[in-house]
Amino acid sequence: MAEKAGVSVATVSRALNGSGYVSKEARERVLAAARALDYHMNVNARSLTSGKTYTIALVLPDVTNPFFPAVARGVEDYASDNGYCVMLCNTDGNSRKESDYLAMLRSRKVDGVIFAVSVPSKSRINTLLDDGIAVVLVDRDLGDSYDIVKTDNIAGAMLATNHLVGLGHTRIAFISGPAQLATSQERFSGYRDALMSKGIPFDERLVIEGDFRMESGHEAMCQLMNGFDCRDRNGFTAVFAANDLMAVGAVTALEESGLRVPTDVAVMGYDDINIASVMRPRLSTIAQPKYEMGWIAAETIIKRMSEPKGSRMEEILQPMLVVRDSTVERRGALA
């Protein structure tokens, strides 16, 4: 390549990177040679000296969870527009897998990792940071120590709860996410606080912990039905699930018991995944700007890489109430 153009490797490098002085003529010869040889820079070799790999990792529990593909897409779009590649890492919420991956990413010198934490471990993250790897959290918060992009879960849960209350419900069950996640805790707070503020007593027997997966929603619902008779005003007349997947499970359980949604019990989800608008009854839910979250996370991490010492960045997006058929009965609806 250098010979082909009749110049030194240094000049080639300068020509290709537009750094330093290169005569017009030399540049053209280099470019011509590059084209002729179909030459492509070896990015890995470059990273050896530059320290930058132009790679970021997206570490999340499971792409198969419909919440994440949109986030991933957002990350990827912003990243690729800026010359970055993104590695996809599924942890299954498994501590071991998570730390294995982080080690892998460290030894690959990724520039940054966008992290939907499933086991809250600050030391894990600090290790990355100490290594000079930028980190931004998405969705799953971890206190106020790290850059984060999330939605306002408390507001979202209040939106949901208030909607239910507005419909006349006072006995509202809550199917929570994994208790150790801030995301779950926040949604729970929103639920409880909304109740309180309306003067509705909070009954902890109405709260069951799930794990964000469909089956756990089904299970939780069964447990709930076991403990209470929902045809009884002292039972419950509505359920708010901390994510749509669990809401789907809950609806299924309800139907299996011959209960009608929303007539017998109203169901509210969270996330607004694609399923929500297609299932029957269509699921009322709290929409999160998933794609934007990913996009902004990528933007944030790239910004962070350019100033590692800058002050903490926090992007809190607003969730939105989407009312469909699982909470209010439509009269004269087509379907």
Partner DNA sequence: TACATATATGTAAGCGCATACATATCGCCA
Partner DNA sequence: TGGCGATATGTATGCGCTTACATATATGTA
Binding mask 266-285 for a second copy (x = CB under 8 A): --------xx--xxxx----
Task: Using the minimum distance from each CB to DNA, give the nearer residue, 17 or 277.
Answer: 17
Task: Using the minimum distance from each CB to DNA, give the nearer residue, 33 or 148.
Answer: 33
Binding mask 203-242 for a second copy (x = CB under 8 A): ----------------------------------------
Provide the Cα torsion 75, 78, 84, 87; round to 10°: 10
Specify whether the CB–CB gap between 15 and 70 falls below 8 A.
no
Task: Using the minimum distance from each CB to DNA, give the nearer residue, 45 or 334.
Answer: 45
Specify whether the CB–CB gap between 280 and 253 falls below 8 A.
no
Which residues on neighbouring strands pair with residue 281, listed in sequence order? none
Closest CA to 191 of 253, 262, 241: 241
Task: Using the minimum distance from each CB to a second copy, give the nearer residue, 8 or 80.
Answer: 80
Q: Is 75 helix (H, G, I), strand (E, B) or coil?
A: helix
Binding mask 29-48 for a second copy (x = CB under 8 A): -----------xxxxxx-xx
Of 26, 89, 137, 287, the residue at the interface with a second copy (CB under 8 A) is 89
**Shortest Cβ 52–DNA spacing (Å):** 10
Residues that bind a second copy (rule: CB under 8 A) add up to a total of: 49
Position 138 contacts a second copy (CB under 8 A): no
What DSSP character marks residue 235? S
Q: For the chain, first and last CA: distance in Å?
A: 67
Q: Which residues contact 235 (CB under 8 A, 6 or more apart)?
A: 171, 228, 229
- Interacting span for a second copy (CB under 8 A) from 7-15, 22-30, 99-107, 227-235: 99-107
Task: Using the minimum distance from each CB to a second copy, give the nearer residue, 156 or 217.
Answer: 217
Write out the binding residues for a second copy, residues 58-87 only, by CB under 8 A.
Answer: 58, 62-64, 66, 68-70, 72-73, 76-77, 80, 85-87
Single-letter amino acid, residue 11: T
Single-letter amino acid, residue 212: F
**Shortest Cβ 296–a second copy spacing (Å):** 17
Q: How far is the C-alpha of 161 from the C-alpha of 239, rounded, in Å?
A: 9
Residue 262 preceded by cis peptide, ω within 30 = yes
Burial state string for 55-82 with b = 16 or more CB within 10 A and e = fewer than 16: bbbbbbbbeebbbbbbbbebbbebbeee
Return residues touching DNA (CB under 7 A): 1, 6-11, 13-14, 16-17, 19-26, 41-42, 45-46, 48-50
Task: Using the minimum distance from each CB to DNA, give the nearer residue, 8 or 180.
Answer: 8
Position 106 contacts a second copy (CB under 8 A): yes
Provide the Cα torsion 65, 89, 46, 124; round to 10°: 120
Position 9 contacts a second copy (CB under 8 A): no
Binding residues for a second copy, per CB under 8 A? 40-45, 47-48, 53, 55, 58, 62-64, 66, 68-70, 72-73, 76-77, 80, 85-90, 101, 103-109, 248, 255-256, 258, 274-275, 278-281, 334-335
